Structure 1
Amino acid sequence: MPGYVWAAPYLTCAPAFAFVLVGGGRVLGYTLAAPDTAAFAERLEQAWWPRVRRDVAGLVPTRPGDAAILEHIARPDPWPAWLLADYPAHMHINILADAQSAGWGRRMIAAGLAALTAAGIAGVHLWLDPRNERAKGFYRHLGFEDVSRDGHVIFATRLDV
Structure 2
Amino acid sequence: MGYCVATPDTSAYEDWLEAAWWPSLKEELRDFSAQTIEDENVLTHIRSVSRTPIRVTQPYPAHLHINLLPEMQNGGHGSSLLAHQLRALMMSGIKGVHLGVNQHNEKVVAFYAKFGFVEIDRTPSILMAKRLTE
C-alpha distance in structure 2 between counterparts of 1:71 and 1:152, whole Å: 15
Aligned-pair identity (%): 37
What TM-score comes out, normalization by structure 2 length?
Answer: 0.92
The residue that corresponds to 1:86 in the other structure is: 59
> Do residues 40 (structure 1) and 9 (structure 2) align?
no
Cα deviation, residue 155, structure 1:
0.9
Counterparts of 1:33 and 1:49, CA distance in 2: 19
Residue equivalent to 2:79? 106
The equivalent of 2:45 in structure 1 is: 72
Whether 1:132 and 2:105 are equivalent positions in the alignment is yes
Deviation digits for residues 87-136 of structure 1, max 9, x if unmatched? Answer: 11111111011000010111111121122122221000001111223211
Q: 2:24 aligns with which of 48, 51, 56?
A: 51
Match of 1:148 among 121, 128, 133: 121
- Give the drift of 1:33: 1.1
- Aligned residue for 2:58, secondary structure, equals helix
Answer 1 or 2: higher relative contact order, Cα 8 Å, separation at least 6.
2
Partner residue, 1:95 = 68
Structure 1 segments, 4+ long, off by >3 Å, are 149-152
| Structure 2 runs not aligned, ≥5 long | none
Structure 1 residue ranges without an equivalent (≥5)? 1-27
Shift of residue 49, structure 1, vs aligned partner: 1.1
- Secondary structure in 2 matching 1:32: strand
> 1:13 aligns to what?
none
The size of the alignment, in residue pairs, is: 134
Match of 1:6 in 2: none
